[in-house]
Amino acid sequence: MPSVRSVVRRLAQLLVVGVALLAALEVTARIHLFGFSGLVPERINSWRLLHETKFLQPSPLPGLRHELKPNLEGYFRMVPFRTNARGLRDREYALKKPEHCFRVAVIGSSFSMPEGVAIEDAWHSLLEERLSEELAPTSYQFVNFAVGMLSSKHMLAILESRALAYQPDLIVYTVTRLSTPALHRAERHARLPARRPKGPPKLPRVRRSPPEKRPNELEGLPRLQHDFPVLDSFLVRLVSSRFTPIRHTGRQAGLSGRGVLERLAAIEQRTGIPIVVVRLEFESRPKSPYEIAIEAQSRQHGIPYLDTRDAFRGTRYRDLWLNALDAHPSARAHAIFADTIDAFLRAQTLLPGASS
């Protein structure tokens, strides 16, 4: 019969082997997904959902749930993440537009913020640099107002309460698959058909918070951060994220019975600023009848509409993800976005001095 000492020694050996295997698995997973930068604690610990970071704050703007904190500097989704003094993920811009400058306001959510892509590689940054060089002495500014986790209602609030103050010459309103239904009618009624080919899948149900909790809804979001980032396990966070559903707080509805297209048309008529709607899609699947109808209705409202998916024919959808765990568009997808939007704006004669 083995002695107590030998049993303890074997248990200790098994524990050491187990810890070593887990450490090897952790290192392998990090390198496989992110390369050797996954071994840098500051970067790997930035691989979180936006609401799990300390980058958000409640917004004082009416109709807006949250906004980015100003003067941030850190990492988010493995890339450098900075905000300017006004809480925009962009460089500093004066409210007053410079002379000989054509200014574009970019409205959107995580695809345009963008999530997991350096700001220099974002489609609007690429266009700003390209057009400013090609069309000098006219300079181009693409001011980025996009913030992740925003609904169409919130994006409209940013447009009306913040973006118009920058005196834009053009507004590019970007939507994704989740925010496209609200273009047609008010979000509370924006239901997609249940099956294909009649339309894309139903939108996820949104859990509504009681009114008394809405002012502090950011504080109620789950956070996985702690005070020992070096000891943080990527695998633990990955597993926990698979078993902890994302909780959307606040109402996602409430457009006073009017869809986004009607609101955008009213803003364009009131301000005289051209507005373009861009559906940022990089899956080259055929358009559903529902999506075709929305595109037609946008043009009926006098708003040019671009669906970028045609530019991605011949590509594999998953090859353009950030990585195997994150389906946001990569820098390569953003480069294709930039080319496609550039060609569209030229064809619509919305860029002064630019040939189509």
Beta carbons of 200 and 290 less than 8 angstroms apart:
yes
Tokens of 177: 């698959």
Helix (H) or strand (E) holding 129: helix 123-134
Q: What is the pLDDT of residues 304-343, one digit of tens each?
A: 999 999 999 999 989 999 888 788 999 999 999 999 999 9
Q: What is the 3-state secondary structure (H, E, C) of 243-310?
A: HCCCCCCCCCCCCCCCCHHHHHHHHHHHHCCCEEEEECCCCCCCCCHHHHHHHHHHHHCCCCEEEHHH
Q: So what's the pLDDT on residue 256?
A: 39
Q: Is the pLDDT of residue 175 over 90?
A: yes
Q: Is the pLDDT of residue 179 over 70?
A: yes
Q: What is the pLDDT of residues 194-253, one digit of tens each?
A: 444 444 444 344 444 444 444 444 444 334 333 334 345 655 555 555 444 444 433 333
Mean pLDDT of 40-52: 80
What whole-number distance in Å separates Cα of residue 254 and Cα of residue 259?
10
State whether residue 153 is helix, strand or coil.
Answer: helix
Residue with the bigger pLDDT between 34 and 189: it is: 34
Q: Which CATH class is domain 35-347?
A: alpha beta
pLDDT band at 94 (very low <50, low <70, confident <90, very high): very high
Q: So what's the pLDDT on residue 181?
A: 81
Q: So what's the pLDDT on residue 141?
A: 97
Mean pLDDT of 107-127: 97
Q: So what's the pLDDT on residue 221?
A: 39
Spatial CA neighbour of 158 closest among 65, 254, 71: 65
Q: Which has the minimum average pLDDT: 25-34, 187-196, 300-309, 339-348?
A: 187-196
Portion of the chain with pLDDT greater than 90, in percent: 52
